[in-house]
Structures are given as structure tokens and as C-alpha cells.
Structure 1
Amino acid sequence: MKGFGLLSIIVSVFPAAHMAKVFVYGTLKKGQPNHFIMKDHAKGQAEFVAHARTVDPYPLVIATEYNIPFLLVLDKPGTGQRVHGEIYSVDQKMLEFLDEFEECPQMYQRTLIRLEVQDGPGGSTPETGSSIEAYVYTTDTYEPEWLEKTTYESYDSNGDHGLPYVPH
């Protein structure tokens, strides 16, 4: 086992950076207007893990003059749909940037939720059908009329809803 001593020392002195799991369901997903943020290494590291959907249903609505997707947290569990999105593993720098970008905690709150993995390759990533916890940006601050809006299972800025995201 000669030569492994140095590796052990390096690993214990420089442990792997802590990575958090984040579930994105709106403009940060692949193919959506703000996905470029997830690839901007100056903001931190973000690695795609798998597609997933929420275990519990949530109302996903599109609101404000900017057509922003919001995942609402209600006092009525079971309202809404099982929302589809993507899980990313992010470093602390990216997590802090996302908190700022999502105006957390004023506009959104970072909440830990349970997800069902849709296409995990297994190995070092979760397997398809497995359950995983990840942070998601939700809001419990919304206008009453948002509760009357159509809820969505999956967000696409260019979807049939005719409400494209408006950068601001």
C-alpha cells in the first residue's frame, strides 16, 4: 500500500467541498431564459444530477408582469401538481448566488423538499424512482388572486400558456 499515505493526508487536509442539492423548476432549467446562470463558473459550481418531480403536489403558477414561475407553499397540503424540474449539485458560492438571485428570504424562501428521481443513472447519482431531498425556492408570500391562476406540472417560458418570461 505504498504511496497511499500522501493521498490520505491530502484528503484529510483538503476535504471535498460541501455540495448542496438544489431543485430548479422554472427559468433556471435547461433551455430556459436564466439557465446560463447555472453554467457561469464565476458564480460557482453547478452540476446537473437528474430530472425529478416533487413527491408532494404544489401549485406552480406564473405571475407578475414579468411572468415569473412561483412554487407556492399553502396551508392546504395536496393542492397543485407534482412539479417537474432538475436537480443540481451546487457549491456554497453558487448557493449564495442563487439566494441573492432568488431574493431569498424576501421574495422566495429556500425550503428542503422531497423529490422522486426521474432519470438518475445510479452509481454516484440517485437511481430512477429513488427519493432525495433538495432545496427549492418557494414562496408563501403571494397575491390572493394567484390562487385562482392555472397551475402547471412543468414550466416552459415558451409554453402554450402564452406567458413568456420577461427579464427584469
Structure 2
Amino acid sequence: MPLVFVYGTLKKGQPNYFRLIDSSNGQAEFITCARTVEPYPLVITGECNIPFLLNVPGSGQRVYGEIYSVDQKMLEFLDWFEECPDWYQRTLIQLEILKGNGETEVEEAFVYTKTKYEPDWLNKPTYDSYDSNGDHGLKYAYEEDMTRSTLDQKSADFSQNSEQEIKKNNSLQILTSTGDDHDVNFRGPLQ
């Protein structure tokens, strides 16, 4: 299963963590904490105080976060939630993991970064770790601006679309010799 590195509102204890543990979005299993091998600018900006990891390796700080193993459904949900590829871009990143014996190992995982951003974002303060309630005073405002029912509807819409996509993918369209279309549903993979 793919590995995903989260550094912002999807981390444990942060405003969107509930999305990772909502099984209707797919499966996500916490693997370990890690930090980026290279420094990156982690900035907080916008009217909602969103944390963004700018895809500018070598600038900023080494960023701490969490690695999750996710199934395909969760990866698709995260792409949808992060509005990838229009808003965020899913890229691979090298991460350093501290092992129990004090040694480190490097792991590669997907991360949602910004490759398109306002030029002044590079002049903003950078952080090595994100906390919505941190000393920076930039509390994440997304949930305060949207009602719970709107968020629930957005998740419900994703779940419904996923079910329709699964049903579509599990349906074969057979064209008979008379030219009539027939849908044939099957369970499980074709042998």
C-alpha cells in the first residue's frame, strides 16, 4: 500500500485528522513519525491559515510529520480532499525515520506540496512542525468557516461518487451480435 507523509491539519490532534480515521474514506494505518531529509518551506498562509509545504527542497527547515500506509480508496480521497493536482500536487519525498536503536533510515512517501504559489510565500516564516494551536497564532479556520453539515455533505458526496465508480469498474459492457448493449455485473477479479 502507498505511504503518505502528512505534516499539517491531517496529523493526529489536528483539525482534519478525523478524515484519516474515517473508514468511509478508505483505510489509513499510522506507521511512524518522520522528518524530511531535505529542508522545505512549511508556511501558514491565506485567510484560513492553511499550512503549505512548498516544493522548494533545500530552503526552509526539515519538517516533522507522520507516515501513513493508505489503501487506494484513501489515496483517491486524499487527492480529492487536497484538490490534487489543481491545488496541491502529490509528489514523492525522502523522509528520515528514527529507529528505536538511535539509528536512522530513509523512506520514500507521497506528500501533498505546492508547486504553484504566490511569490511572497517564500518570504513568510517557515516551521519545522505544524500545530493549529501553535505559538504562531495562526489557528486553522476552515472548520470555523464551514458548517459541519457542509463538511459531512462533502464527504458523503465523495463516498457516493466512489461507490458509483466502483460499480462502474465492476461492470462489463458487452456488445451482442445484434448491437444491443448489456451490462454484466461481476464480483471479484476476472480470472
Q: Normalized against structure 1, the TM-score is what?
A: 0.82
Structure 1 counterpart of 2:79: 99
Residue 148 of structure 1, CA deviation = 1.1
2:94 alignment partner, SS class: strand
Structure 1, residues 94-151: CA drift from partner, whole Å, max 9, x if none? Answer: 0000000001000110001110013x569xxxx9611100000001111111111100
- Counterpart position of 2:26: 44
1:73-84 mapped onto 2 (5 Å cutoff): 73-74=55-56, 77-84=57-64
Q: How does 1:105-120 map to 2 (within 5 A)?
A: 105-118=85-98, 120=99
Q: Which whole-Å CA distance do the structure 2 matches of 1:104 and 1:91 have between them?
A: 17
Q: 1:52 to 1:128 in 2, by over 3 A?
A: farther
SS of residue in 2 equivalent to 1:130: strand
In percent, how many aligned pairs have the same letter?
67
Letter in 1 for 2:12: K
Q: Residue 104 of structure 2: SS of its match in structure 1?
A: coil
- Residue 12 of structure 2 is aligned to residue 30 of structure 1: yes
- 1:140 and 2:140 are equivalent in the alignment: no
3-state SS, counterpart of residue 78 of structure 1: coil
Which residue of structure 2 lines up, in the alignment, with residue 154 of structure 1? 129
Residue identity opposite 2:105 in structure 1 = S
Alignment correspondent of 1:59? 41
TM-score (structure 2 length as normaliser): 0.72
Per residue, is there more helix in 1 or in 2?
2
> Which has the higher relative contact order, 1 or 2, with Cα contacts under 8 A spaced 6 or more apart?
1
Give the distance between the partners of 1:146 and 1:157, measured in 2 at CA: 18
Rate the CA distance shift 1:114–1:41 in 2: closer, same or farther, 3 A: same
Larger Rg: 2
Unaligned runs of 5+ in 1: 1-18
Pair 149,22 (structure 1): closer, same or farther in 2 beyond 3 Å: same
